[in-house]
A and B are shown apart, each in its own frame.
Chain A
Amino acid sequence: MVKHHPTTDFITDFAAGTLPVAQAACISAHLNYCDSCRRSAEQLQTIGGVLMEQLAPVTVSESVLESVLARLDEPAPLSFAQKPARQEAFDLPGLLTRIINGDFTQLTWKRITRALSVSSLQTGDSAYEFALYKIAAGGRIPEHDHGGSEMTLVLKGGFSDDRGTYHPGDFIFRQANETHMPVTIDGDECICLAVLDAPLKFTSWQYRWLNPFLQLRAG
Protein backbone atom coordinates (compact mmCIF):
# COMPACT_ATOMS: atom_id res chain seq x y z
CA MET A 1 0.00 0.00 0.00
CA VAL A 2 1.50 3.26 -1.12
CA LYS A 3 1.57 5.87 1.66
CA HIS A 4 3.74 8.70 0.39
CA HIS A 5 2.45 10.66 -2.57
CA PRO A 6 3.43 13.58 -4.77
CA THR A 7 1.63 16.84 -3.97
CA THR A 8 -1.40 17.89 -6.01
CA ASP A 9 0.89 20.58 -7.52
CA PHE A 10 3.02 17.89 -9.12
CA ILE A 11 0.04 15.87 -10.32
CA THR A 12 -1.54 19.00 -11.81
CA ASP A 13 1.65 19.82 -13.70
CA PHE A 14 1.83 16.23 -14.83
CA ALA A 15 -1.79 16.36 -16.07
CA ALA A 16 -1.14 19.64 -17.88
CA GLY A 17 2.06 18.26 -19.40
CA THR A 18 4.30 21.01 -18.05
CA LEU A 19 6.81 18.97 -16.03
CA PRO A 20 10.33 18.40 -17.34
CA VAL A 21 10.53 14.92 -18.88
CA ALA A 22 12.68 13.43 -16.09
CA GLN A 23 10.28 14.56 -13.36
CA ALA A 24 7.24 13.59 -15.42
CA ALA A 25 8.69 10.10 -15.83
CA CYS A 26 9.11 9.79 -12.06
CA ILE A 27 5.51 10.90 -11.39
CA SER A 28 4.29 8.53 -14.08
CA ALA A 29 6.22 5.67 -12.45
CA HIS A 30 4.53 6.51 -9.13
CA LEU A 31 1.10 6.43 -10.82
CA ASN A 32 1.87 2.85 -11.77
CA TYR A 33 1.74 1.91 -8.13
CA CYS A 34 -0.90 4.28 -6.83
CA ASP A 35 -4.63 4.08 -7.54
CA SER A 36 -5.55 7.30 -5.83
CA CYS A 37 -2.96 9.45 -7.64
CA ARG A 38 -3.90 7.81 -10.91
CA ARG A 39 -7.52 8.85 -10.40
CA SER A 40 -6.37 12.26 -9.34
CA ALA A 41 -4.36 12.67 -12.55
CA GLU A 42 -7.35 11.51 -14.59
CA GLN A 43 -9.60 14.05 -12.87
CA LEU A 44 -7.09 16.83 -13.34
CA GLN A 45 -6.98 16.06 -17.05
CA THR A 46 -10.70 16.78 -17.36
CA ILE A 47 -9.80 20.43 -16.78
CA GLY A 48 -7.66 20.32 -19.92
CA GLY A 49 -10.51 18.77 -21.90
CA VAL A 50 -13.01 21.38 -20.79
CA LEU A 51 -10.63 24.28 -21.47
CA MET A 52 -9.81 22.91 -24.91
CA GLU A 53 -13.52 22.76 -25.81
CA GLN A 54 -13.79 26.42 -24.94
CA LEU A 55 -10.94 27.66 -27.14
CA ALA A 56 -11.83 29.78 -30.15
CA PRO A 57 -11.62 27.33 -33.08
CA VAL A 58 -8.95 27.96 -35.73
CA THR A 59 -9.90 27.00 -39.28
CA VAL A 60 -8.36 23.79 -40.57
CA SER A 61 -8.29 23.49 -44.33
CA GLU A 62 -10.04 20.62 -46.11
CA SER A 63 -6.71 19.37 -47.42
CA VAL A 64 -5.68 18.44 -43.86
CA LEU A 65 -8.81 16.35 -43.46
CA GLU A 66 -8.21 14.76 -46.85
CA SER A 67 -4.64 13.78 -46.05
CA VAL A 68 -5.73 12.29 -42.73
CA LEU A 69 -8.48 10.30 -44.44
CA ALA A 70 -5.91 9.05 -46.95
CA ARG A 71 -3.68 7.82 -44.13
CA LEU A 72 -6.29 5.98 -42.06
CA ASP A 73 -5.19 2.56 -43.27
CA GLU A 74 -1.61 3.00 -42.09
CA PRO A 75 -0.70 0.53 -39.35
CA ALA A 76 -0.72 2.05 -35.84
CA PRO A 77 2.67 2.47 -34.18
CA LEU A 78 3.44 0.38 -31.09
CA SER A 79 2.21 1.89 -27.88
CA PHE A 80 4.25 1.77 -24.70
CA ALA A 81 1.55 3.27 -22.49
CA GLN A 82 1.73 1.86 -19.03
CA LYS A 83 -0.50 -0.57 -17.32
CA PRO A 84 -0.91 -0.23 -13.57
CA ALA A 85 1.55 -2.47 -11.71
CA ARG A 86 0.32 -5.61 -10.04
CA GLN A 87 0.69 -5.27 -6.31
CA GLU A 88 2.11 -8.75 -5.62
CA ALA A 89 5.01 -8.93 -7.99
CA PHE A 90 8.03 -6.71 -8.29
CA ASP A 91 7.03 -5.10 -11.49
CA LEU A 92 9.25 -2.51 -13.09
CA PRO A 93 7.17 0.37 -14.44
CA GLY A 94 6.92 0.06 -18.21
CA LEU A 95 8.63 3.32 -18.96
CA LEU A 96 11.71 2.28 -16.97
CA THR A 97 11.89 -0.96 -18.88
CA ARG A 98 11.81 1.20 -21.97
CA ILE A 99 14.59 3.52 -20.81
CA ILE A 100 16.78 0.68 -19.56
CA ASN A 101 15.89 -1.25 -22.69
CA GLY A 102 15.87 -4.46 -20.67
CA ASP A 103 15.84 -5.24 -16.98
CA PHE A 104 17.94 -4.57 -13.90
CA THR A 105 20.47 -7.26 -14.77
CA GLN A 106 21.57 -5.28 -17.81
CA LEU A 107 22.43 -2.13 -15.89
CA THR A 108 25.92 -0.92 -15.19
CA TRP A 109 26.32 0.23 -11.60
CA LYS A 110 28.90 2.69 -10.42
CA ARG A 111 29.97 2.15 -6.86
CA ILE A 112 29.98 5.29 -4.68
CA THR A 113 30.45 3.82 -1.19
CA ARG A 114 30.50 0.24 0.05
CA ALA A 115 26.72 0.26 0.39
CA LEU A 116 25.71 2.62 -2.40
CA SER A 117 25.82 2.18 -6.19
CA VAL A 118 24.36 4.40 -8.85
CA SER A 119 23.24 3.74 -12.41
CA SER A 120 22.48 6.80 -14.51
CA LEU A 121 19.80 6.52 -17.15
CA GLN A 122 19.23 8.72 -20.16
CA THR A 123 16.05 10.73 -20.49
CA GLY A 124 17.57 13.42 -22.68
CA ASP A 125 16.72 16.01 -20.00
CA SER A 126 19.79 18.18 -19.62
CA ALA A 127 18.68 19.76 -16.34
CA TYR A 128 17.99 16.58 -14.38
CA GLU A 129 19.88 13.48 -13.44
CA PHE A 130 17.65 10.44 -13.71
CA ALA A 131 19.31 7.56 -11.92
CA LEU A 132 18.76 4.38 -10.00
CA TYR A 133 20.28 4.24 -6.54
CA LYS A 134 20.96 0.85 -5.01
CA ILE A 135 21.60 0.49 -1.31
CA ALA A 136 22.97 -2.92 -0.28
CA ALA A 137 20.99 -4.94 2.28
CA GLY A 138 21.59 -3.53 5.73
CA GLY A 139 23.35 -0.53 4.21
CA ARG A 140 22.70 3.16 4.41
CA ILE A 141 23.40 6.27 2.41
CA PRO A 142 25.64 8.61 4.41
CA GLU A 143 23.88 11.70 5.66
CA HIS A 144 23.54 14.08 2.76
CA ASP A 145 22.16 17.38 1.71
CA HIS A 146 20.57 18.27 -1.60
CA GLY A 147 22.02 21.09 -3.62
CA GLY A 148 18.67 21.26 -5.36
CA SER A 149 15.53 19.17 -5.49
CA GLU A 150 15.33 15.41 -5.30
CA MET A 151 12.41 13.19 -6.25
CA THR A 152 12.72 9.62 -5.04
CA LEU A 153 10.53 6.66 -5.87
CA VAL A 154 11.12 3.33 -4.14
CA LEU A 155 11.15 0.46 -6.64
CA LYS A 156 12.41 -2.46 -4.57
CA GLY A 157 12.99 -3.11 -0.88
CA GLY A 158 12.55 -0.07 1.29
CA PHE A 159 14.30 2.51 3.40
CA SER A 160 13.61 4.76 6.31
CA ASP A 161 14.89 8.15 7.39
CA ASP A 162 14.04 10.60 10.13
CA ARG A 163 10.64 11.35 8.58
CA GLY A 164 9.26 7.98 7.63
CA THR A 165 9.52 4.50 6.24
CA TYR A 166 9.15 3.98 2.52
CA HIS A 167 8.14 0.95 0.46
CA PRO A 168 7.78 0.28 -3.27
CA GLY A 169 5.68 2.96 -4.92
CA ASP A 170 6.29 5.55 -2.21
CA PHE A 171 7.27 8.97 -3.48
CA ILE A 172 9.50 11.37 -1.57
CA PHE A 173 10.37 14.93 -2.51
CA ARG A 174 13.19 16.82 -0.82
CA GLN A 175 14.41 20.29 -1.49
CA ALA A 176 17.74 22.02 -1.07
CA ASN A 177 19.16 21.98 2.44
CA GLU A 178 17.03 19.14 3.74
CA THR A 179 19.50 16.55 4.99
CA HIS A 180 18.67 12.93 5.56
CA MET A 181 20.33 9.56 6.03
CA PRO A 182 18.36 6.74 4.39
CA VAL A 183 18.79 3.26 5.94
CA THR A 184 17.51 0.09 4.29
CA ILE A 185 14.82 -1.95 5.98
CA ASP A 186 13.69 -5.57 6.03
CA GLY A 187 17.19 -6.93 5.40
CA ASP A 188 16.77 -6.50 1.67
CA GLU A 189 18.63 -4.35 -0.82
CA CYS A 190 16.79 -1.21 -1.83
CA ILE A 191 16.53 0.24 -5.32
CA CYS A 192 15.13 3.73 -5.85
CA LEU A 193 14.63 5.98 -8.81
CA ALA A 194 16.01 9.43 -8.08
CA VAL A 195 15.57 12.60 -10.12
CA LEU A 196 17.95 15.38 -9.12
CA ASP A 197 18.73 18.83 -10.42
CA ALA A 198 21.94 19.13 -8.40
CA PRO A 199 24.36 16.52 -7.06
CA LEU A 200 24.04 15.09 -3.56
CA LYS A 201 26.37 16.56 -0.98
CA PHE A 202 27.56 14.31 1.81
CA THR A 203 27.55 16.25 5.05
CA SER A 204 29.46 14.01 7.46
CA TRP A 205 33.24 14.46 7.58
CA GLN A 206 33.94 10.78 6.75
CA TYR A 207 32.33 11.13 3.36
CA ARG A 208 32.73 14.76 2.45
CA TRP A 209 35.85 14.00 0.41
CA LEU A 210 33.59 12.15 -2.05
CA ASN A 211 31.62 15.26 -2.96
CA PRO A 212 33.84 16.32 -5.87
CA PHE A 213 33.13 12.92 -7.44
CA LEU A 214 29.37 13.32 -7.21
CA GLN A 215 28.80 15.27 -10.35
CA LEU A 216 25.34 15.65 -11.75
CA ARG A 217 25.03 13.24 -14.63
CA ALA A 218 22.10 14.81 -16.39
CA GLY A 219 21.09 14.00 -19.93
Chain B
Amino acid sequence: MVEEKTQSEQNTKSWSVPTGRRTDEWSECLVLVGKSNDRAAFTRFFRHFGPLIKAFALAGSSLSQAHADEIVQEVMLKVWQKADGFNPEKAAASTWIYTIARNCRTDMFRRLQKFDTPLAADDLSIELEEEEPFAVLHSRRGADRVRELMSQLPPDQAQILAKVYMEGKSHSEAAAELDLPLGTVKSRVRLAIQKLQVQMERL
Protein backbone atom coordinates (compact mmCIF):
# COMPACT_ATOMS: atom_id res chain seq x y z
CA MET B 1 0.00 0.00 0.00
CA VAL B 2 2.70 2.42 1.06
CA GLU B 3 4.66 1.61 -2.04
CA GLU B 4 1.67 2.16 -4.28
CA LYS B 5 1.07 5.56 -2.78
CA THR B 6 4.66 6.60 -3.27
CA GLN B 7 4.48 5.41 -6.84
CA SER B 8 1.38 7.46 -7.59
CA GLU B 9 2.84 10.51 -5.88
CA GLN B 10 5.87 10.23 -8.08
CA ASN B 11 3.68 9.97 -11.11
CA THR B 12 1.77 13.10 -10.18
CA LYS B 13 4.98 14.92 -9.50
CA SER B 14 6.63 14.05 -12.76
CA TRP B 15 3.43 14.78 -14.61
CA SER B 16 3.02 18.30 -13.24
CA VAL B 17 6.47 19.36 -14.42
CA PRO B 18 6.93 16.93 -17.28
CA THR B 19 10.28 18.16 -18.54
CA GLY B 20 11.69 19.65 -15.34
CA ARG B 21 14.49 17.14 -14.93
CA ARG B 22 15.40 17.21 -18.57
CA THR B 23 15.87 20.98 -18.47
CA ASP B 24 18.47 20.60 -15.76
CA GLU B 25 20.13 17.91 -17.78
CA TRP B 26 20.50 20.27 -20.77
CA SER B 27 21.83 23.08 -18.61
CA GLU B 28 24.45 20.71 -17.21
CA CYS B 29 25.28 19.65 -20.73
CA LEU B 30 25.86 23.26 -21.77
CA VAL B 31 28.06 23.89 -18.75
CA LEU B 32 30.20 20.87 -19.69
CA VAL B 33 30.51 22.17 -23.23
CA GLY B 34 31.43 25.66 -22.00
CA LYS B 35 33.84 24.66 -19.25
CA SER B 36 35.68 21.76 -20.81
CA ASN B 37 34.84 21.73 -24.53
CA ASP B 38 33.18 18.37 -23.96
CA ARG B 39 32.36 17.00 -27.41
CA ALA B 40 30.32 14.10 -26.08
CA ALA B 41 28.07 16.50 -24.13
CA PHE B 42 27.83 18.69 -27.23
CA THR B 43 26.78 15.70 -29.33
CA ARG B 44 24.05 14.79 -26.83
CA PHE B 45 22.87 18.39 -26.86
CA PHE B 46 22.87 18.36 -30.66
CA ARG B 47 20.82 15.18 -30.87
CA HIS B 48 18.19 16.67 -28.59
CA PHE B 49 18.01 20.26 -29.81
CA GLY B 50 19.03 19.83 -33.47
CA PRO B 51 15.63 18.37 -34.47
CA LEU B 52 13.83 21.09 -32.44
CA ILE B 53 15.85 23.86 -34.10
CA LYS B 54 15.04 22.35 -37.47
CA ALA B 55 11.34 22.29 -36.58
CA PHE B 56 11.64 25.92 -35.51
CA ALA B 57 13.41 26.85 -38.76
CA LEU B 58 10.63 25.26 -40.79
CA ALA B 59 7.74 26.60 -38.68
CA GLY B 60 5.41 28.72 -40.76
CA SER B 61 7.98 29.25 -43.49
CA SER B 62 8.66 27.89 -46.93
CA LEU B 63 12.32 27.39 -46.09
CA SER B 64 13.94 24.42 -47.86
CA GLN B 65 15.28 21.43 -45.94
CA ALA B 66 18.79 22.48 -46.95
CA HIS B 67 18.35 25.97 -45.50
CA ALA B 68 16.81 24.53 -42.34
CA ASP B 69 19.84 22.24 -41.98
CA GLU B 70 22.08 25.26 -42.49
CA ILE B 71 20.30 27.01 -39.61
CA VAL B 72 20.80 23.93 -37.42
CA GLN B 73 24.52 24.05 -38.23
CA GLU B 74 24.86 27.75 -37.53
CA VAL B 75 22.94 27.55 -34.27
CA MET B 76 24.93 24.57 -33.04
CA LEU B 77 28.25 26.22 -33.94
CA LYS B 78 27.18 29.26 -31.94
CA VAL B 79 26.21 26.98 -29.06
CA TRP B 80 29.75 25.62 -29.09
CA GLN B 81 31.31 29.08 -29.32
CA LYS B 82 29.10 30.77 -26.73
CA ALA B 83 28.58 27.98 -24.20
CA ASP B 84 31.22 29.40 -21.85
CA GLY B 85 28.99 32.45 -21.46
CA PHE B 86 25.97 30.34 -20.48
CA ASN B 87 25.11 30.71 -16.83
CA PRO B 88 22.56 28.15 -15.57
CA GLU B 89 21.80 30.46 -12.64
CA LYS B 90 20.64 33.14 -15.05
CA ALA B 91 18.74 31.39 -17.79
CA ALA B 92 17.19 28.09 -18.75
CA ALA B 93 18.99 26.21 -21.52
CA SER B 94 15.82 26.36 -23.63
CA THR B 95 15.60 30.16 -23.42
CA TRP B 96 19.27 30.52 -24.21
CA ILE B 97 19.15 28.35 -27.31
CA TYR B 98 15.85 29.85 -28.45
CA THR B 99 17.43 33.31 -28.71
CA ILE B 100 20.31 31.93 -30.75
CA ALA B 101 17.94 30.04 -33.06
CA ARG B 102 15.67 33.09 -33.44
CA ASN B 103 18.62 35.28 -34.43
CA CYS B 104 20.04 32.76 -36.90
CA ARG B 105 16.65 32.32 -38.53
CA THR B 106 16.14 36.09 -38.81
CA ASP B 107 19.55 36.50 -40.43
CA MET B 108 18.84 33.62 -42.83
CA PHE B 109 15.50 35.17 -43.89
CA ARG B 110 17.22 38.50 -44.47
CA ARG B 111 20.00 36.91 -46.51
CA LEU B 112 17.48 35.06 -48.66
CA GLN B 113 15.47 38.23 -49.24
CA LYS B 114 18.67 40.12 -50.12
CA PHE B 115 17.83 42.46 -47.27
CA ASP B 116 21.08 44.28 -46.76
CA THR B 117 21.55 45.55 -43.22
CA PRO B 118 24.67 46.34 -41.21
CA LEU B 119 22.93 44.83 -38.19
CA ALA B 120 23.03 41.11 -37.50
CA ALA B 121 20.19 39.95 -35.25
CA ASP B 122 22.81 39.18 -32.58
CA ASP B 123 23.82 42.84 -32.49
CA LEU B 124 20.41 43.65 -31.01
CA SER B 125 20.65 41.05 -28.26
CA ILE B 126 21.12 42.33 -24.77
CA GLU B 127 23.33 40.64 -22.28
CA LEU B 128 22.09 40.66 -18.71
CA GLU B 129 24.50 42.08 -16.17
CA GLU B 130 26.32 39.62 -13.96
CA GLU B 131 24.84 40.98 -10.76
CA GLU B 132 21.13 40.88 -11.29
CA PRO B 133 19.65 38.94 -8.38
CA PHE B 134 16.17 39.41 -9.74
CA ALA B 135 17.11 37.75 -13.00
CA VAL B 136 18.65 34.88 -11.07
CA LEU B 137 15.47 34.34 -9.15
CA HIS B 138 13.10 34.51 -12.07
CA SER B 139 14.83 33.42 -15.26
CA ARG B 140 15.84 29.99 -14.04
CA ARG B 141 12.52 29.13 -12.48
CA GLY B 142 10.78 31.15 -15.17
CA ALA B 143 10.95 28.42 -17.79
CA ASP B 144 9.49 25.77 -15.45
CA ARG B 145 6.66 28.05 -14.45
CA VAL B 146 5.95 29.13 -18.02
CA ARG B 147 5.90 25.47 -19.09
CA GLU B 148 3.37 24.66 -16.42
CA LEU B 149 1.14 27.65 -17.11
CA MET B 150 1.39 27.14 -20.86
CA SER B 151 -0.50 23.86 -20.62
CA GLN B 152 -3.41 25.74 -19.05
CA LEU B 153 -3.74 28.36 -21.80
CA PRO B 154 -6.92 28.30 -23.88
CA PRO B 155 -6.13 26.90 -27.35
CA ASP B 156 -6.85 30.17 -29.17
CA GLN B 157 -4.27 32.00 -27.06
CA ALA B 158 -1.70 29.21 -27.37
CA GLN B 159 -2.22 29.23 -31.13
CA ILE B 160 -1.46 32.97 -31.38
CA LEU B 161 1.66 32.64 -29.25
CA ALA B 162 2.90 29.88 -31.55
CA LYS B 163 2.25 32.09 -34.60
CA VAL B 164 4.19 34.96 -33.08
CA TYR B 165 7.05 33.11 -31.38
CA MET B 166 7.52 30.02 -33.50
CA GLU B 167 6.43 31.23 -36.92
CA GLY B 168 7.81 34.74 -36.37
CA LYS B 169 4.61 36.36 -37.63
CA SER B 170 3.81 39.98 -36.88
CA HIS B 171 0.42 40.65 -35.31
CA SER B 172 -1.02 41.77 -38.61
CA GLU B 173 0.32 38.72 -40.45
CA ALA B 174 -1.15 36.47 -37.77
CA ALA B 175 -4.47 38.32 -38.04
CA ALA B 176 -4.55 37.84 -41.81
CA GLU B 177 -3.68 34.14 -41.63
CA LEU B 178 -6.23 33.35 -38.94
CA ASP B 179 -8.80 35.69 -40.45
CA LEU B 180 -9.18 37.61 -37.20
CA PRO B 181 -9.34 41.33 -36.49
CA LEU B 182 -5.96 42.80 -35.51
CA GLY B 183 -7.36 43.90 -32.16
CA THR B 184 -8.36 40.31 -31.32
CA VAL B 185 -4.85 39.06 -32.06
CA LYS B 186 -3.29 41.77 -29.91
CA SER B 187 -5.60 41.13 -26.99
CA ARG B 188 -5.06 37.36 -27.15
CA VAL B 189 -1.29 37.87 -27.03
CA ARG B 190 -1.69 40.21 -24.05
CA LEU B 191 -4.01 37.83 -22.20
CA ALA B 192 -1.68 34.89 -22.79
CA ILE B 193 1.29 36.86 -21.48
CA GLN B 194 -0.64 37.89 -18.39
CA LYS B 195 -1.53 34.27 -17.72
CA LEU B 196 2.05 33.15 -18.15
CA GLN B 197 3.04 35.70 -15.50
CA VAL B 198 6.05 36.93 -17.37
CA GLN B 199 5.08 40.58 -17.31
CA MET B 200 7.31 42.56 -14.99
CA GLU B 201 6.16 45.14 -12.55
CA ARG B 202 7.88 48.48 -13.04
CA LEU B 203 10.46 49.08 -10.35
Residues of A bordering B, CB below 8 Å: 5, 8-9, 12-13, 16-19, 21, 24-25, 28, 31-32, 35-36, 38-61, 64-65, 67-69, 71-72, 74, 76, 79-84, 94-95, 98-99, 101, 122-125
Contacts and interface: CB of A to CB of B under 8 A. Distances in A.
B73 A67 contact: yes
Given A38-B128, A72-B77, A79-B122, A46 B198 contact: yes
Given A16-B164, A71-B77, A72-B39, A49 B127 contact: no
A46 B166 CA distance: 12
8 contacts: A9-B171, A17-B168, A31-B126, A47-B150, A51-B150, A52-B52, A53-B19, A68-B46
Given A49-B97, A81-B127, A124 B143 contact: no
A52 B166 contact: yes
Contacts of A94: 123
B56 A25 contact: no
Contacts, number: 219
B165 A16 contact: yes
Interface in B85-110: 91-99, 101-103, 105-106, 110
Interface residues of B, number: 83
Interface string B144-173: 001100100000000001101110111100
A24 B124 contact: yes
Nearest to B138: A43
A25 B193 contact: no
Q: Could you say which of A8, A21, A41, A58 has the most chain B C-beta atoms within 10 Å of its C-beta? A: A58
Interface SS majority for chain A: helix
A5 B202 CA distance: 10
B55 to A, nearest CB: 4
Contacts of A28: 123-126
Q: Could you say which of A45, A56, A69 has the most chain B C-beta atoms within 10 Å of its C-beta? A: A45
Contact of A39 (B46, B59, B73, B134): B134
